[in-house]
Amino acid sequence: MELELREIAHNMARRRAAQAEFGQSERGETAHFAHAAARVLQGLSANQVKRCGEDLIDLIDREVPVAALQKLANREKPSVVEIRAVARQLAAKRAEQAQLDPVFAWVGELFGLDPAEITILTIFARWGKFECWRELVRRAPLSCSNLTPSAVAQLSGLANNTVEQKLMPGAPLFASRLLHDDRDGEYSLSPLLRRLIRVHAETREDMLRWLMPEPEQGGLLWDDFEHLDPLRSVALKILVSKEPVSILLFGEPGTGKTEFARSLASEAGSGAIFAGLSDDFGNEPDRSERLDHLMILRAMCRHHRDRVIVVDEADDVLMMSERKGSSKQWINRLVEAPQVTTIWIVNQRSRLDPAVLRRMTLAIGFDRPRFAVRERVAQRSAETASVSLNTAELREIASLKSPPAVVAAGLKAAHLASGGADVAKTAIHSVMRALGQSCAPDAPGSSVYDPNLSRADTDLSCLAERLAATPDRGWSLLLSGPSGTGKSAFARHLAQVMGLETEERRCSDLMSPYIGETEQNIAEAFAKAAERGALLLIDEVDSFLYRREGGQRSWEVSQVNEMLVQLEHLRTPFIATTNLADNLDPATQRRFTIRAVFHAMTPAQASKLFKARFGIDWPLDWPVHEGQTPGDFAVVAHRARLLSEREPAVLLRWLREEIDARSGHSRGVMGFHVPDANVPTKLMSTNGRKAA
């Protein structure tokens, strides 16, 4: 008696658990389960009834008890007739709409599924959500514990060939990423489908809002991306057309790619919807989950042309052709025929297959914005972070070679630390160091630079005026001459006269130990300058343009060839400087549109620059030096500021020592050494001793 009571209590507990599983909101699920169980029972043969009839009766009695179960003569050995009676009563259960039914009706509408495909999808969904369905499959004589086409056919009542056709590779159920083909004869629910069956959406609009939330607003404005023109304008016109295309945004982290995607969509009157930013629990989704979300967004946005899908950090998604079980052809098709305009954001373009890159309608590279834009962004970031900056501090921060996101983070750090510009700069430098990069500003143009104080074989002032006046920007200029004669300073001055920023590259920026990468860096430097509309300046160009007959390796020759190709197809002003013009390949000399040779200053020029730099006249009793260069004055002026030196005799001695240093002579005494007041300055040698 006690044993029977315990068994009754156990059965009642199992029934309560089953009812709790379905829940009040899942009332219609009882009928769906009853109908599936009825189909399983109706398909049992006599031998199958003997083998698994008891297990099925036990499951059904727990989940959906019917009157026929109470009439069983022997529950351990039910007869075929008794099983058929139970099946008829289960099949007669009145159908009620369950919560999942409208969800899958909406999903079927979104993906264009036919009734059979929707039925198959609901079988998979219920098998994935409810333990009783999984147990039904395990207890039935289906020879599997997972769902196969034959199991789906028996549970749904569809014909076997129909189910097999709907579960063929590439069929809509798989193309939509709702189901996954495990490639072993079995199938599984995609993470997206698992999320859908947990959605508590009362209406279709509720489900759409959950899957396609309102677009986020960016922190940068459309005008903050003016440095991307003309590509920015082209991208806007493409989006306004509402034709589905793929657009690639690539560049270093923090350069504003994500913010630009938001601003572009907003400017085009659309909303940016981000695919797969997180999973159900707010964690990082895997590649499969991101693709699942992308596919359902594509399905939904086909009817919402005012939306743009953004796939941020898309490197892993577009590289899925390298992953096991992924199709390169499918990825290529995804990019080539996006159905909805899709913006793909990557950090390293080189990691993508060329076949993927070729299928992009437009590709926009992100680099450091122009100074005016950087200054505006820094000002707005400072205001947001409540950090007060004066004009000089703002310009100094804007001059740093760091992405806008790093600048904003640095200013936020300054606010949290109750600091100012110094704290912000410290924070910015720390992040850039962690990135393995320097954010030191480019060498600024001299505030006292005057082309009339540089000596060359052409009139530099006239040259600057004429080049600034011409609308043609496809020209090149070779500046050669000894170091310190003002070649780079003139290049920066010319850019300033033309209203252009200077895109500077040095040998260390372009040289790479990997074969082919130096040539790639050279091409990239020209492309970036052209996209930004900047003047490209390459110092020490003899590092690349040396005589090809002197090249001992194939890559040495290929570097020269790459530079020659770029010189033939210029889209932006290019200036190269060299101290060793005789070492340049003769073919490259001919490729430059204009050539100018710099020399040391004349005595008259040196005297004027002395006045401009130090605010005093050249002493009348000291002959003006021959062979002085503007670079000498820059070095001596910096030293004088550091040491608070104003004595003309010391300044002149230091200038003379710079000339001697270039000729290989000893630099003499350094530091604060002041000439003996009793010795006439005109008799002093460069080391402060009396002349012989």
Token pair of 537, please?
């300046």
pLDDT at 168 over 60: yes
Place 676 in a pLDDT band, splitting at 50, 70 and 90. Answer: very low
- Separate counts of helices (H) and strands (E) for the chain: 31, 13
State residue 212's pLDDT score.
66
The whole-angstrom separation of Cα 545 and Cα 556 is 9
pLDDT at 673 over 80: no
Token pair of 273, please?
């919807």
Residues 218-230 as b/e (b if ≥16 CB within 10 A, e otherwise) read: bbbeeebbbbbee
State residue 689's pLDDT score.
38
State residue 458's pLDDT score.
92
The whole-angstrom separation of Cα 652 and Cα 609 is 12
Is residue 350 within 8 Å of 388, Cβ to Cβ? no
Count of CB atoms situated within 10 Å of the CB of 494:
25
State residue 23's pLDDT score.
43
pLDDT tens digits along 320-350: 545 545 567 878 888 888 888 999 999 888 7
How far from the centroid of its chain's Cα atoms is residue 632's Cα?
44
State residue 546's pLDDT score.
66
The whole-angstrom separation of Cα 552 and Cα 550 is 6
435: amino acid identity, one letter: L
Q: Using CB atoms within 10 A of its CB, is residue 433 exposed (0-12), middle (13-18) or buried (19+)?
A: exposed
The whole-angstrom separation of Cα 541 and Cα 153 is 73
The whole-angstrom separation of Cα 347 and Cα 463 is 41
Q: Using CB atoms within 10 A of its CB, is residue 604 exposed (0-12), middle (13-18) or buried (19+)?
A: exposed
Q: Using CB atoms within 10 A of its CB, is residue 402 exposed (0-12), middle (13-18) or buried (19+)?
A: buried
Q: Which of 3-17, 267-281, 369-383 has the lowest mean pLDDT?
A: 3-17
Residue 669: in which H helix or E strand, if any? Answer: none
Token pair of 417, please?
């630390």
Residue with tokens 């834009």: 373
Name the nearest CA neighbour of 134 among 91, 201, 212, 189. 189
The whole-angstrom separation of Cα 613 and Cα 634 is 8
pLDDT at 281 over 70: no
Name the nearest CA neighbour of 287 among 334, 319, 246, 309. 319
Place 272 in a pLDDT band, splitting at 50, 70 and 90. Answer: confident
State residue 246's pLDDT score.
93
At 633, phi and psi to the nearest 5?
Answer: -65, -35
Is residue 410 within 8 Å of 424, Cβ to Cβ? yes
Q: Which residues pair with 578 in a beta bridge?
A: 480
Is residue 215 within 8 Å of 273, Cβ to Cβ? yes
Angle between helices 131-139 and 29-42 (to 10 degrees): 0
For residues 151-163, average pLDDT? 90
State residue 675's pLDDT score.
44
State residue 456's pLDDT score.
93
Residue positions counted in the chain: 692
Is residue 598 within 8 Å of 485, Cβ to Cβ? yes
Place 553 in a pLDDT band, splitting at 50, 70 and 90. Answer: low
Place 557 in a pLDDT band, splitting at 50, 70 and 90. Answer: confident
For residues 239-259, average pLDDT? 88
State residue 216's pLDDT score.
61
Angle between helices 554-568 and 517-532 (to 10 degrees): 20
For residues 126-147, average pLDDT? 85
pLDDT at 22 over 80: no
For residues 369-382, average pLDDT? 82
The whole-angstrom separation of Cα 683 and Cα 692 is 9
For residues 440-450, average pLDDT? 58
Q: pTM of whole model > 0.85?
A: no
pLDDT tens digits along 37-85: 999 999 888 898 888 888 888 999 898 888 888 888 888 888 989 899 9
State residue 671's pLDDT score.
42
Mean of the per-residue pLDDT values of the chain: 80
State residue 210's pLDDT score.
67
For residues 266-281, average pLDDT? 73
Q: Which of 124-138, 274-288, 473-487, 582-596 has the lowest mean pLDDT?
A: 274-288
State residue 670's pLDDT score.
42
Name the nearest CA neighbour of 146 among 133, 157, 137. 137
CA distances from 480 to 425, 554, 581 (A): 36, 27, 6
The whole-angstrom separation of Cα 268 and Cα 425 is 36
At 377, phi and psi to the nearest 5?
Answer: -65, -40
State residue 478's pLDDT score.
92
Is residue 656 within 8 Å of 667, Cβ to Cβ? no
DSSP three-state, residue 188: strand
227: amino acid identity, one letter: H
pLDDT at 167 over 80: yes
Is residue 544 within 8 Å of 526, Cβ to Cβ? no
Angle between helices 46-63 and 2-22 (to 10 degrees): 80
CA distances from 345 to 218, 259, 316 (A): 15, 11, 11
pLDDT at 426 over 80: yes
pLDDT at 280 over 70: no
State residue 548's pLDDT score.
53
State residue 674's pLDDT score.
41
pLDDT at 248 over 90: yes
Q: Which residues pair with 363 in a beta bridge?
A: 248
State residue 686's pLDDT score.
38
